[in-house]
Chain A
């Protein structure tokens, strides 16, 4: 588990972006103007600390409402943190200074209206104090140069995502924040998007990607951070996190044939099993060649055995020790209360 007040991963001197004890809670209701103590505070981000090296890609994963978007908005300078520091290259700056170094691509921008892509890009170039001639270059970079005179309402979802990325890249940001960037992208667009991100990272752009799709991230990110109830509960390389959460050395064995899966309990350390008509799957720990050999000797039709790829649900269940329903679908209001004790909280 990530310990509070400790920056994981890198030393302070190497860190490009460093977040220390970040704290923010949304006001949900009951706010009486000028009398803050009557505000009812809801979820947010609690005591969040981490750091990232230049050119690194961090995947931020968590269930809906975990606080990923809020954390990204804090980093983008949209929300001002109630407590804590955000430092770029070791320097603490105001939210406006932060915005000059960060490119932000929010989730689900529903671009609409009659403005053309070129006009939108030019508008954001002005907001960035950037020469409007960069608009065409960026449209070319995100593969939208042929559509630059098209009104934005004509774009497909994938093209809208690319436009959002183009806007986020205005001003050559040092740090890129992407909130669910793969939503609505087909596999080809998603792969090309990932390649583009890798190229940017190789040029020294630090990238934070929020997603609930761990599988999409695993080939892209250098490290992942798991968020739950506004806290970073685990962080590290995919392998480290898998190891810490007990997924290391686990295999998924698949096969077919009418067999009693219980018979494998003697051969393997079975963690989970399932059977659907003629097909069966085992999740086992510590597979050896002998154990697989034993299965073949029993004439069991094994079709594959691969290292187990934990899903977000697996990671969250393991990291929190909670059941699936507790994590997501049956969130109770009291569950918004942070796990860690909060000091000096003004509520």
Chain B
């Protein structure tokens, strides 16, 4: 059997197990609430956001809906993958797995791909529902390029959190450590990043939280490259004209590549040197 086919088959086993798991059953209503629910809300013609902003295009509605994705899809990925390695280490199945002829790096591909699919597919389904909700209320649909960018951004965001959670799981020898690391990372990038940005701005002598101050906007834009959520928003902003945060398309794409490659290489190395 071809190696790639074997990787796909193994990942489909992980996907199948997780898609029908209790975690998915518990999290799916939350995804529905946060993704199509946000899209429904932001599609309201009467909606006025802070600062008097009113979303007018399909991509703008999806951009605001992405807040719901940051709150739900990322934690969904973390909850799926936080014990991806530690659970099998505790049960002894990991020992059996590592003694199999398939190389550890190929097993890592299968693991990551399986966990990523199990989180991404429900999120993608909810994103599709979000677009249907948006169309039902406003008659707007994203262009093909906007749709592609949106789906790509969601896919890489879920991948980054899956990788981070699996790295945490590779270090953990019991469940609580991997949960703490996974949820802690999610909390840092989702809630605390604004604080980090403010502290850096304060230390740099930039006025904090002034949306009209170009220095603040530029600093925030650059610091966002250090956060997966920030890179996700930079990606979406590529399709929204008029947003200038001092970060070029090349820098955004470089951010995507680095946020994908670095955790991937760390995880691969961790699994290659994993001891029981």
Residues on A lying within 8 angstroms of B by beta carbon are 26-27, 73, 76-79, 96, 99-100, 102, 104-115, 119, 122-124, 126-129, 164, 167-168, 171
Contacts and interface: CB of A to CB of B under 8 A. Distances in A.
A253 B98 CA distance: 49
Nearest to A115: B17
B91 interface: yes
A124 B10 contact: no
Contacts of B97: 127
A171 B93 contact: no
A99 B99 contact: yes
B13 A100 contact: no
- For the complex, would chain B's binding face be called helix, strand, loop or mixed by DSSP majority? helix
Contacts of A114: 17, 20-21
Contact of A100 (B1, B95, B98, B101): B101
The 10 closest A-B pairs by CB, nearest first: A127-B100, A104-B99, A109-B92, A76-B99, A106-B95, A110-B91, A100-B101, A127-B102, A99-B101, A78-B98
A96 B103 contact: yes
A109 B17 contact: no
B93 A127 contact: no
Nearest to A127: B100
A77 B101 CA distance: 9
Contacts of A126: 1, 6, 9-10, 13, 102
Interface string B66-108: 0000000000000000000000001111011111111100010
Contacts of A110: 90-92
B53 interface: no
A184 B6 CA distance: 34
B6 A73 contact: no
A213 B102 CA distance: 33
Contacts of A122: 13
Contacts of B96: 104-106, 109, 124, 164, 167-168
A168 B21 CA distance: 27
A102 B275 contact: no
B92 A107 contact: yes
Interface string B4-29: 00100110010001001100000000
Given A99-B100, A127-B101, A78 B91 contact: no
A109 B97 CA distance: 11
Nearest to B2: A129
A309 to B, nearest CB: 31
A110 B88 CA distance: 9
B195 interface: no
Contacts of A128: 100-102
B13 A123 contact: yes
B276 interface: yes
